[in-house]
Structure 1
Amino acid sequence: MLCWMSWCLVLAVMLASLELCPAETCEEITDLDLKHSIAGPALRVRLLLFTRANSTCGYLLSHDDPFSNPEFNVSRPTTFIIHGYRPTGSPPIWTHKVVEATLGQRDVNVVVVDWNRGATNINYLKVVENTPLVATNLTAFIQKMQIEGASLSSIHMIGVSLGAHISGFTGSSFNGSIGRITALDPAGPSFTDKPADQRLDPSDAQFVDALHTDMDAFGFRKPLGHVDFYANGGADQPGCPKSIFSGSAYFKCDHQRSVFLYVDSFIESCGMTAYPCANYSAYLDGKCLSCDQFGSVGCPVFGPHLVRWKDILVKLGQTSTYFATNQISPYCQTNYKVEIVTWNSQPRWGFISIKLHSASEEVLAQTLHTSTKFEQYVETTLLARFDRRVRSVEKITLKYSTANVCTGRYKLRLLRIRLTPLDRSTRPLCRYDLVLMENTEVTFRPIYCEDSNF
């Protein structure tokens, strides 16, 4: 009987302790619906903290006393993630992916800025009016961080769409002392042609980088960072619907792609190297594959590792760069510079398709941009884009084609073809004295180029 009473006492103490120490509640971005979108709820900003100790469970920070949460350590760098316009009130589907990628790379405080009450409204202009108010809220919060010893240079703000301009307004409040702002397809409507103090611009942080994926609709077209990346030209993204009959994806796929490209950029083997160029067409034509101005570090790679190029890019001023991607994740491509010298006595026009073979796989390059002119003894440069990397190239297949339908088949006589991988430091591959019959594949084993400096 006494033993039974003792167990009851232990059980009572355990139950009491559970009441005194309830389980921590995991907070999510506010989930609203169409009735909120019509009514347009008043602005409310919530800050959700994620760290490596609570990477999947957001803690709600108090604006008045954010440091009451022991997980919020200002001695660590802090990354703010700020979403954009939410016309239907639903939370972004990508938030946890960005949080996970960020914490996987560095031990930081990740603060997700939930301003869904304020971003949800069928009237876009009302939401735009809220953006400087969100920035004022964040400014006050960061000032509290400063008092506790946080360094402004250790703050990174990642803003999506309208969130990019909120980041800019916040950074402007600190006279550009914030360490870095990453703008993922910054919003265009209501900000295009606005002066710099009414949108994101390079003076808002020590380093501002921007990615453009929907500049012909919801995104911003012109450069507004120290470096601007134009993925696939900055407009229509591969794999996104081309017809309005595809539903909501037709409207948001290009715009949303910026976030998924950013998430993929954390993959070590998936570098998205970008090339300074006048426009996307010139990039595809292989006219902008030099990275000499960046010295030994090479051309900038979009994503978290871009800080390696910070000093160079800030010194260069506003730099527009271009890269191409696959239709689905992993989005990164493997790029080769292809240099061809022909010895036909008459100029030839046409396309070159290229396959790389290893012992177990083959990949086909995307080079069919425009018809290329090949002239005797004149080196022609092409960009060959492969959807994945072949680690050990054992064979190469070439095919020459033209648009001719009324004439006989042409031959393209190659004095030399050289393939140089642009994404890694390996020796260029060559073949000399080769004849390509139109629409006929020729497969050969490449050799290392005779004039290689490797």
Structure 2
Amino acid sequence: MDRNKPNKAVLFLATIYVAMTTVEAGTYTPSPDVGISAGLISDCPGVTKNATISNGSMHMLQVVHHMLNDKNEVVRRAMPVTVAHKMLAKSKRMDLRNKKTVFYVVGFVDSSWFLHSQAVGTAYAKRGYNVFESETIAFLTQIYPKSVRLAREIGKRIGEFLVKLTDQGLTADNLELAGLSIGAHIAGYAAKHFYAATGKKPSRLTGLDPAGPCFRNLPSKYRISASDAERVDILHTNIDGFGMAERLGHIDFYANGGEYQPNDIPYIPCLVICSHFRSVLYWWQALEHPKKFIGLKCDSIQDARLSNCFNSTETNYFGLNTDFGKPGIYYLPTNNVFPYYKGKEGLKEENEIYTSIIRSINSEDNFVL
């Protein structure tokens, strides 16, 4: 497939996008009667109340150790979170003192056994990390507001597990966390607990389109925050749907403006679920292809939404090579087909995936049907 040739899905989505955001004479500004999107169920009464996992259910909250053996084959071992540290103490495939460790937290109705989670785990393992993933399918399949309520308890338990690993050589400097959707907030809770218990913050925390529903109007102690780790980076892919628009990290990347992502399936636009889920695919490919996802610094989130950042001379990589010495808001261009990265071609305004295509539709001087 020619990665530089737009398909019909992108054309369709571009038409919708431009119709919603622009008119021929200039930029569309909603009237006071129309207002600005408030997002999907920003407030969920009761989600800050306590939630407890009983002793009878605790064994279903698991840590999965994701490894590569000598033949480069994936080996996975699931353990209850309360005893995982003991089971790992004798592992010969783990080096907490000399290797980096990452804990990846899955999202709502998600599992560490799903292919995308395993792909992320393998990408980290190939780069020499000790890799752990959460298994929460028994808990994060409750009706969504109750799953949000459980998230803090899950995060606390993961944090306790990580604290116990410090007795085996884990240090904050070698600890990274990442999470998808509600898993991003759980990773934030785990980081908060780790700091409260050890006085040290994890080295890095990555949020992949942190969940917006039920979280948008909560204070920072109830969601992922830039204060949770020494370096916090956030990827936004569906800010007015299942994600959230505001800055949450030291560096926030807004992929293609952060609202909706282009799809690679003809005639089917990438709407809410698709755009939200695309965040983990971008991260997986960023791990696999260092320095291929390049963002442009923006003056504001609104500029990122409208891709008004191409006059910027400051760039940053999305992935393990992110330069945290250059904090701020970044517009992250992607392609519409796997493996999604655009490299340096994405830094050219004429290659912006929405507006460049919509211009081409009526580029002829005379249209005859």
TM-score calculated relative to the size of structure 2: 0.71
> Is the 2:291–2:317 contact (alpha carbons within 8 Å) kept by the matching residues of 1?
no
2:77 is matched by which residue type in structure 1?
Answer: Y
Q: Please name the residue that 1:304 is paired with.
A: 320
| Cα gap change, 1:365 to 1:207, in 2 (>3 Å) | closer
Whether 1:136 aligns to 2:159 is no
Q: Please name the residue that 1:84 is paired with.
A: 107
| Cα gap change, 1:98 to 1:137, in 2 (>3 Å) | same
CA deviation after TM superposition for structure 1 residue 236, in Å: 1.1
> Is the 2:123–2:287 contact (alpha carbons within 8 Å) kept by the matching residues of 1?
yes
In structure 1, the residue corresponding to 2:252 is in which secondary structure?
strand
Whether 1:223 aligns to 2:252 is no
Q: Please name the residue that 1:57 is paired with.
A: 75
Q: Please name the residue that 1:178 is paired with.
A: 202
CA deviation after TM superposition for structure 1 residue 79, in Å: 0.7
Q: Structure 1, residues 318-339: CA drift from partner, whole Å, max 9, x if none?
A: x11102211111211223547x
CA deviation after TM superposition for structure 1 residue 84, in Å: 0.8
Percent identity, aligned pairs only? 25
CA deviation after TM superposition for structure 1 residue 205, in Å: 0.3
CA deviation after TM superposition for structure 1 residue 269, in Å: 6.9
Aligned length: 296
Choose the corresponding residue for 1:262, options 274, 283, 297: 283
1:241-280 aligned at under 5 Å gives the runs: 251-268=272-289, 271-277=292-298, 278=300, 279-280=302-303
CA deviation after TM superposition for structure 1 residue 110, in Å: 0.3
CA deviation after TM superposition for structure 1 residue 266, in Å: 2.7
1:368 is matched by which residue type in structure 2?
Answer: S
Distance 2:100 2:337 in 1: 32
CA deviation after TM superposition for structure 1 residue 370, in Å: 8.1
Whether 1:199 aligns to 2:223 is yes
In structure 1, the residue corresponding to 2:340 is in which secondary structure?
coil
In structure 1, the residue corresponding to 2:115 is in which secondary structure?
coil
Q: Which has the larger share of strand?
A: 1
> Is the 2:212–2:242 contact (alpha carbons within 8 Å) kept by the matching residues of 1?
yes
In structure 1, the residue corresponding to 2:253 is in which secondary structure?
strand
> Is the 2:256–2:307 contact (alpha carbons within 8 Å) kept by the matching residues of 1?
no
| Cα gap change, 1:210 to 1:281, in 2 (>3 Å) | closer
CA deviation after TM superposition for structure 1 residue 228, in Å: 0.5
> Is the 2:226–2:232 contact (alpha carbons within 8 Å) kept by the matching residues of 1?
yes
Choose the corresponding residue for 1:125, options 137, 145, 151: 145
1:58-77 aligned at under 5 Å gives the runs: 58-61=76-79, 62-63=83-84, 65=86, 66-75=88-97, 76-77=99-100
> Is the 2:335–2:353 contact (alpha carbons within 8 Å) kept by the matching residues of 1?
no
CA deviation after TM superposition for structure 1 residue 368, in Å: 2.6
| Cα gap change, 1:275 to 1:63, in 2 (>3 Å) | same
Q: Structure 1, residues 302-324: CA drift from partner, whole Å, max 9, x if none?
A: 01111xx12343xxxxx111022
Distance 1:120 1:152 in 2: 31
Distance 2:154 2:308 in 1: 43
In structure 1, the residue corresponding to 2:139 is in which secondary structure?
helix
CA deviation after TM superposition for structure 1 residue 93, in Å: 3.1
Distance 1:139 1:207 in 2: 17
Distance 2:276 2:130 in 1: 27
Distance 2:266 2:215 in 1: 26
> Is the 1:180–1:205 contact (alpha carbons within 8 Å) kept by the matching residues of 2?
yes
Q: Structure 1, residues 220-244: CA drift from partner, whole Å, max 9, x if none?
A: 221100001000111111016799x
Q: Structure 1, residues 29-88: CA drift from partner, whole Å, max 9, x if none?
A: xxxxxxxxxxxx95631111123327512023443513133323212221111101008x
2:92 is matched by which residue type in structure 1?
Answer: P
Q: Structure 1, residues 317-376: CA drift from partner, whole Å, max 9, x if none?
A: xx11102211111211223547xxxxxxxxxxxxxx79xxxxxxxxx99763787xxxxx
For the pair shown, which has the larger CA radius of gyration, 1 or 2?
1
In structure 1, the residue corresponding to 2:346 is in which secondary structure?
strand
Distance 1:336 1:48 in 2: 38
Distance 1:254 1:403 in 2: 32
Distance 1:151 1:177 in 2: 10
TM-score calculated relative to the size of structure 1: 0.58
1:97-176 aligned at under 5 Å gives the runs: 97-104=119-126, 106-121=127-142, 123-175=143-195
Q: Which runs of 5 or more residues in structure 1 are unaligned?
A: 1-40, 292-298, 314-318, 339-352, 355-363, 372-398, 407-454
In structure 1, the residue corresponding to 2:190 is in which secondary structure?
helix
Please report the RMSD computed on the Cα atoms of aligned residues, expressed in angstroms: 3.3
Q: Structure 1, residues 166-192: CA drift from partner, whole Å, max 9, x if none?
A: 111111123361110111111001110
Distance 1:300 1:174 in 2: 29
Greater relative contact order structure (CA < 8 Å, 6+ sep): 2
> Is the 1:91–1:116 contact (alpha carbons within 8 Å) kept by the matching residues of 2?
no
> Is the 1:51–1:107 contact (alpha carbons within 8 Å) kept by the matching residues of 2?
no
Distance 1:80 1:284 in 2: 33
CA deviation after TM superposition for structure 1 residue 141, in Å: 0.9
Q: Which runs of 5 or more residues in structure 2 are unaligned?
A: 1-55
Q: Please name the residue that 1:393 is paired with.
A: none
